[in-house]
Structure 1
Amino acid sequence: MSETITFPPLMTGEAAGPGQDPFDLACQKAELGVDAGLVVYELGTDVLRAALVLAPEVPLAKAMAMLPVCGVGFQNALGALAPPEVAVHLDWNGALRINGARCGRLRIAASTDDPDTQPDWLVVALDLPLWPEGDGGETPDETALYAEGCADVAAPRLLESWARHCLHWINRWDEGELETIHGEWRGLAHGMGEARTEAGRSGTFLGVDEDFGMLLRDETTTHLIPLTTVLVQD
């Protein structure tokens, strides 16, 4: 797709080539020292993929907030373009849900997996199916954007909107508005107060700590599962 994509100031765009995963390509470019703000993207006929390169100036444990921050950015972006009845929720581990069903995900990678080390780079990627594969009845908990009343949402405009809203929330995070970001995210969080299993532990999802670590309560205690457990490893 050759349509022009307009990114906000401080961001630049680069289309991935045929057969290239924008997430992998963004990580490769980040490793080579590309400037933060690069968005590598793929606008396919049935999928939207994009990956944003960042260079946080805090330890990884705190920089992991970029995953929920970009999730809030996605909800805002789709909310600005989709019909008002379309509901978007965010799973703690990066999964996206539209009208209750899973619809793509956010992924995150960094130059280090040490929570106390400041990463040289960090990449947050969006993977969003536009059209369902096969018979949607075979996977009732999985959906695609255009199957949820969003057929008029053009993928290029959604990509532009996601970039703008991510930048908005990243700036607010830079300015220390963590309480506001937590409030936005909690209002969109999927499954809070429900039973779930994460990182080999099962219990009730109570909420998150300051760094968005999951608080999971079992019969005897509350466990803290750091958000770094969802990092994509090489």
Structure 2
Amino acid sequence: MNRWIPTRRSYTEMKHEIQEPLELPAAYELVALDDSSNALEATVQLARQGGTEGTLVWTTQQLPGDFRPGKTWYSPDQGLYLALILEPEFAPEAAGQIALIGLLSMGMAIAEAVVPMTDLRYRWPNDLLLSGSKVGGVSLRRNLEEGWLVLGVSVNVGKEPAEVIDAGCVQVEGGNPELTPAALLQSFAREFLHWINRWDEEGLPAILGAMRGRWGVPGESVLVELDEDETLAGALQDVDEEGQLVVETATGPRRIALNEFFGL
């Protein structure tokens, strides 16, 4: 894959007010939703219609949608809900690694905005936790024949969803009531551009190195819902050099690949 620097860009203004101007790298073609549709679903539709790499769709409020098959993401207002079209030139088996890049990029963006010493952790491979509460997540959609991959990122910025027991929001858990979705979007856009190019140059070790120490401790209990019919329980062993989760189960070690988790 060549360095990811698309050049097309535009900005569609939201009908509801944005408090500060948006400044994103030229790599992005920014589309702000002016209704209450779902950012991930809207971006997948754009990709199917020929939307180009770098198209970034976002909103601060949206309808609930399937983040993974059978898994709904509830979206309170004052959130950051975005999805990005990519046109992969890398091998299909590496597609799941984009989720880790998205997760790390949002983690870095949030880390810049919260008070010092806030406990920020990742729950393999798609959840972001602050002070033990889930505040964000990532998802992937792909069509090999049409050649596109869509990364979805959702973050509870100002409100936590009432429907989710362990959820929180960044303003509260991170001690920064002034943080806005637009400010977080700008930070994420810069971080993602940095980390996807680091990944292109150095491979997955660059991403895993930056996430090291934030997965939890070996021996910690984990519960992984692979699909509607299979849930894996065991003790965390490691996240290996290929980004696979290694879990010690009652029947022995089990490795879960990124593509397996996201159904790619």
TM-score bracket, shorter-length normalisation? 0.7 to 0.9
Structure 2 residue aligned with 1:218, among 249, 253, 258? 249
Aligned to 1:155: 181
1:142 aligns with 2:167: yes
Counterpart residue number, 1:79: 111
Distance 2:263 2:185 in 1: 22
SS in 1 for 2:85: strand
Residue 14 of structure 1 and its aligned partner are, at CA, apart by: 0.3
1:58-207 to 2 correspondences below 5 Å = 58-112=90-144, 120-129=147-156, 130-133=158-161, 139=165, 141-148=166-173, 149-190=175-216, 192-198=218-224, 199=226, 200-207=231-238
Instruction: Check 1:150–1:67 CA distance in 2 against 1; reply closer, same or farther (3 A cut).
Output: same
Alignment gaps of 5+ in structure 2: 1-15, 62-76
Q: Structure 1 stretches (4+) deviating beyond 4 angstroms?
A: none
Q: Compute the TM-score of the two structures, normalised by the length of structure 1.
A: 0.86
What is the percent sequence identity of the aligned residues? Answer: 24
| Greater mean deviation of Cα atoms: 180-189 or 118-127 | 118-127
Cα deviation, residue 49, structure 1: 0.5
Q: CA deviation at 1:7?
A: 1.4
Is 1:231–2:257 an aligned residue pair? Answer: no
What SS class does the counterpart of residue 175 from structure 1 fall into?
Answer: helix
Aligned to 2:7: none
Q: 1:204 to 1:40 in 2, by over 3 A?
A: same
Deviation at 1:125, TM superposition (A): 1.2
Question: Structure 2-normalised TM-score?
Answer: 0.77
The residue aligned with 1:42 is 59
Structure scoring higher RCO (CA < 8 A, sep ≥ 6) equals 1
Q: CA RMSD in A?
A: 2.3
Cα deviation, 1:86-110, whole Å, max 9, x if unaligned, reads: 2321111311111111113111111
How far apart, CA to CA, are the structure 2 residues paired with 1:69 and 1:37?
A: 15
Inter-partner Cα distance in structure 2 for 1:111 and 1:193: 37
